[in-house]
């Protein structure tokens, strides 16, 4: 079920009302959460429910066994990790590895005559698998005690707001919330509704409009001059931000309606002053997952510079592969990893993550320059992420280096309407302006400090009017494929 679908607009208020006014008490509410979460997830394909149940059951049992048999905890933890990673790799990467093996064999003059595998990728499998693995590892590390409450644990794995595209929650944060009573908080619910509205603005107005323009340009990039190619890359840059951070806002806001607090997943990434800071602000839950469960176990920042750089490159290679079964994702991960490795090598990785320009409205000229350079590097990286293959990505970037980059974009040749192009650019600027003004708040539409109700309601009405006039086509969320 898509957040931006008519079904969800019917589903959410019904679930909300039943949750608070019919199914009262922690046990009953948890059972209800599991039921509606499985309905939500099974809406795509009910066969996927078998996989999420297997992951849930194995992780639940492994936690109990790890605590009961501490002497064999490493083997139990390792077995659960191997099985879940094995399931993930089969459904996500078997076609990728089969195709690459066939291409490699063909290079030696041999032909493989086999039936091409057609494995369907279950929606959100990377997200709930990583969330389940974090629980097993946390129990093994004694960061959390294994729970015997199977329903609460199932709620933790399958909680529908963040089930298919995160945030990837930690057991130490989310699981305890399903083990204690939850009470309705009107103020928190109102904040949640505002965050949902802000998430829909990012998705429906920013991402979906940018998607139509970016797709047209990338699909016909050989017929575009450099200035239009630059616009295409910028449109995709804001498409993926609006799409993924919009999903996170809707998920976090929806969770608030049910008395559950999810972690912040985006924190003004396009105002970062270097690539390392960008990754502390972009998809925060995944970044922290790889730091805690891969980077630190490898040695982290301890040891020689060579070891640290090795660890960085391993993490970003895996992060790229996590995003999809295509070499473009691996190259994209390595691209970011190499830049961060260089910053580390030159002692320029300054661990920035605080509020940008906290004491003044305008940042210093130096920081403006750093933000612009970082943004350009991010845009180049997104070209690899968006391209169908490496050849297209390299060709696209090469065509950007043409002198026509300072000419007028030939958008009419692709049938791109000037009006749509104009208002999409306007909303991109508006998004960034609101993000900047509200940078000290949790999200752009957090207006609790606006005292007068008529002003708040006027803002809501304006957003609803924008939706009714400028909504793009109904596009699936990009990160569903991961």
* Catalytic one of 194, 203, 273, 323: 323
Q: What is the pLDDT of residue 156?
A: 96
A 10 A CB-CB count for 226 gives 18
Rounded Cα–Cα distance for residues 164 and 8 (Å): 14
**33 vs 404: CA distance, rounded Å:** 55
pLDDT tens column, 39-95: 999 988 888 899 999 999 999 999 999 999 998 999 999 999 999 999 998 888 877
- Catalytic: 283? no
- The pTM of this model reads 0.92
**C-alpha separations of 255 from 123, 193, 308 in Å:** 20, 10, 37
Query: What would the two tokens of residue 332 be?
Result: 């994209």
Whether 309 and 345 have beta carbons less than 8 Å apart is answered as yes
Report yes or no: 433 and 440 within 8 Å, Cβ to Cβ: no
Q: What is the per-residue pLDDT for 249?
A: 96
Please list, in sequence order, all residues whose beta carbon lies within 8 angstroms of the beta carbon of residue 190, skipping any fewer than 6 positions away. none
E-state strands within 133-184? none
Distances 272 to 164, 263, 477 between C-alpha atoms, Å: 27, 20, 24
- Residues 120-139: tens digit of each pLDDT: 778 889 999 999 999 999 99
Residues of the chain predicted below pLDDT 50: none
- Give the chain's length: 482
């Amino acid at each position: 079920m898509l957040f931006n679908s008519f079904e969800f607009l019917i589903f959410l208020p019904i679930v909300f009302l039943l949750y608070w006014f019919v199914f009262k008490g922690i046990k009953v509410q948890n059972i209800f959460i599991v039921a509606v979460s499985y309905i939500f997830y099974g809406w795509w394909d009910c066969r996927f429910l078998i996989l999420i149940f297997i992951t849930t059951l194995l992780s639940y049992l492994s936690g109990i066994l790890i605590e009961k048999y501490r002497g064999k905890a490493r083997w139990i933890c390792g077995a659960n990790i191997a099985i879940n990673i094995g399931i993930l790799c089969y459904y996500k990467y078997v076609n990728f590895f089969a195709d690459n093996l066939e291409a490699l064999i063909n290079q030696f003059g041999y032909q493989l005559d086999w039936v091409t595998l057609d494995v369907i990728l279950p929606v959100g499998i990377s997200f709930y698998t990583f969330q389940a693995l974090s629980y097993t590892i946390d129990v093994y590390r004694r960061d959390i005690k294994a729970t015997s409450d199977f329903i609460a644990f199932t709620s933790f794995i399958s909680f529908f707001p963040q089930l298919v595209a995160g945030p990837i929650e930690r057991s130490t944060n989310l699981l305890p919330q399903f083990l204690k009573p939850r009470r309705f908080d009107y103020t928190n619910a109102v904040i949640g509704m505002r965050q949902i509205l802000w998430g829909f603005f990012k998705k429906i107005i920013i991402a979906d409009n940018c998607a139509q323009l970016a797709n047209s340009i990338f699909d016909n990039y050989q017929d575009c001059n450099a200035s239009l190619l630059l616009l295409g890359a910028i449109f995709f840059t804001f498409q993926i931000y609006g799409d993924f951070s919009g999903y996170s806002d809707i998920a976090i806001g929806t969770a608030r309606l049910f008395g559950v607090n999810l972690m912040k997943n985006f924190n003004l990434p396009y105002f970062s002053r270097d690539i390392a800071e960008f990754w502390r602000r972009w998809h925060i839950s995944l970044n922290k997952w790889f730091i805690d469960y891969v980077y630190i176990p490898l040695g982290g920042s301890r040891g020689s510079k060579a070891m640290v750089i090795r660890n960085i490159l391993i993490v970003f290679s895996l992060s790229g592969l996590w995003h999809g079964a295509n070499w473009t994702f691996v190259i994209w991960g390595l691209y970011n990893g190499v830049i961060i490795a260089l910053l580390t090598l030159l002692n320029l990785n300054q661990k920035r993550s605080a509020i940008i320009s906290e004491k003044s409205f305008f940042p210093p000229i130096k920081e403006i320059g750093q933000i612009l350079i970082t943004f350009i590097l991010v845009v180049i990286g997104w070209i690899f992420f968006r391209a169908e293959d490496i050849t297209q990505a390299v060709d696209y970037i090469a065509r950007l280096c043409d002198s026509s980059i300072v000419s007028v974009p030939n958008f009419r040749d692709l049938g791109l309407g000037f009006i749509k192009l104009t208002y999409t650019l306007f909303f991109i600027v508006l998004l960034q302006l609101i993000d900047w003004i509200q940078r000290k708040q949790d999200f752009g539409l957090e207006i609790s400090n606006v005292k007068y109700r008529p002003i708040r309601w006027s803002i809501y009405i304006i957003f609803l009017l924008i939706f009714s006039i400028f909504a793009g086509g109904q596009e699936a969320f990009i990160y569903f494929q991961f």
